[in-house]
A and B are shown apart, each in its own frame.
Chain A
Amino acid sequence: MLVMNKQHNTNQTSKAMASFSVEKIRADFPILAEKIRNKPLVYLDNAATCQKPQAVIDSIVQLYSHDYANVHRGVHTLSVRSTDKFEGARSKIKEFINAASEKEIIFVRGATEAVNLVAQSYGKANIKHGDEILITAMEHHSNIVPWQMLCEQTGAVLKVAPINTQGELIFSEFENLISDKTRMVSVVHMSNALGTVNPVKNIIASAHDRNIPVLLDGAQAIPHMKIDVRDLDCDFYVFSGHKLYGPSGVGVLYGKQGLLEAMPPYQGGGDMIRKVTFAETEYNTLPYKFEAGTPSIADVVGLGAAIDYLNEIGIEAIAAHEAELLTYATGQARQIKGLKIIGEAAEKGAILSFVLDKVHPHDIGTMLDNLGIAIRAGHHCAMPVMDFFKVPATARASFAMYNTKQEIDVLMEGIKSLIEVFG
């Protein structure tokens, strides 16, 4: 049965890959036709945020033009239409990450808010003075600072598992740092600064052996690989809509139902209550308990449209295309004298972080912009990673389903030319 399943999956993947057409995909993204300083846009800042397909843009226009009202309250037609679309998006996300129930899908503003929610709700209720929270040295600030704040509030201690010079987690060190004081393990699934994909299944198994819950920061991982939260067996999974070809302003906290049920609310307000008197308040059931106030309705609907779009293309086909781009870009980059790649993990997503001997990343960013190429220059909200590699910043090209090898050629030519100019 297992073998048959595998066979089935392989067939599906190869079918999706056979129909994958980057030209067809590019035509779905109107912004890719933009000219930047009179040159065709080469958008390689996808790890910061992805561009939006027409289907996502249209879904928002359609909602505001024809279906919009507040959700969950009205008996009138528009409120019902809005609620159906809003809750429809929740179902799509539940399917997309294979959660057990819609009750496990909490809408938040983004991955950052989701981590804060878990830290302040689960953390405050369960983590005490002297307890430990374990993260890795490659975390984004959004998976460091909320825990530091919790530590400040409770007297808990933040432990950091180190990485090696390839940018990989040193798993044995990670295991050494898990102790009977550890109450939470919170790790990034895929690093935004390095591209490293962490061995999350091993991390989860190791933590669960000691009954420690695991939060995965999936903001970078989810646009690049199939996420199955039940197969992973993670306790929390957080991601942002805008990195998944959806709108900014919406993100998702997935949590196992049992854990979410036991957690106190994060914010108080409308929609998260069942009954309010001045004496006491009875909280609403999941997922609404964690969704105080009017949500970002149109952005949630847009995220639903993004999931439809992704399902149509197939995440496996996207992953295969991006893997090809990364291999090609890495090969080209290695041939450039004076270029050093930062982050060369064996398991790596479509991110190429690099520094040049003679040119500061900020100058690289401005020079490439002049050629129509959008890359990121800076610390990528991962200052401890920069400190580890002893660089002030890196330049980062990050790829998405709509990028091409020709665009990578344009990037590499640009890098070679600017090295000459700076000589």
Chain B
Amino acid sequence: MNQPVGLQTGEENRAPPSPIREFWHYFTENKGALAGLIVFSIVCFMAIFADWIAPHNPTQQYRDAFLTPPFWAAEGSTRFLLGTDAVGRDILSRLIHGARYSLVIGGIVVTISLIFGISLGLIAGFSRGIVEILIMRAMDIMLALPSLLLAVVIVAILGPSLFNAMLAISIVYLPHLVRLTRAAAITELTKDYVTASKVSGAGVMRLMVITVLPNCMAPLIVQATLSFSNAILDAAALGFLGMGAQPPTPEWGTMLAEAREFVLSAWWVVTFPGLAILITVLALNLLGDGLRDALDPKLKRQ
């Protein structure tokens, strides 16, 4: 994997670049990925410092300012930069606080599905036989159901809440991760270094986690970034259907659901939460594309 790539031809540096440096070199060549990283960092910054950045309390209802348009419109004021919603809450502040929910949702979904996906995938790849068949069949069944529909059904069983929505989305994302991990593990298992490690007496756990897993990571990292952006989209969709975060949580999808009835009378209530989702997801997808290009050895040689 770490074949020396001629990044610097200068005589003073003939040593192969460290993997991280090599990765960074390819990653920064991709302008879109860099833009994605910058936008994503801004969203993270907003999420972390929401309490200080947001001009108003996201749940504070200003009784004197229902449905105020954004500041550039005729009746707008600079007091509420992006206007207020039907109960007089500042939309900008709600969006800034909403960034927290989206990032936490993405993070938790990716963590849960990575932990279970990798474990199941490794078990399937190592065990073969009946255990493998059972695991892979279960994944096939989940793949036959449209993902959002499966998530909706799981939430219907567990009851609508943000946590259950996250759990449902994590379950829905399992099949892809399990398949990827299993495929990568099976390929790695045939290699000599694994045999060497086995011969020198490594136990199954050590083989799985320390020997094989690190070499399966590249496709998993890419899948994880893509899952992160999909999780934000799906959680927003569940929120929109009333099955995710419940009002008055300033989650972007839930905000859209609350704004739905004002679609023809107050465009700003509808426009901005969706724009926030689109920008964040777009940035993450650009980032994911960049990661894939930088981590995929096949593309590197071109």
Query: Do A and B make up one complex?
Result: no
A interface residues with partner B (beta carbon < 8 Å): none
Which B residues have a C-beta under 8 Å from some C-beta of A? Answer: none
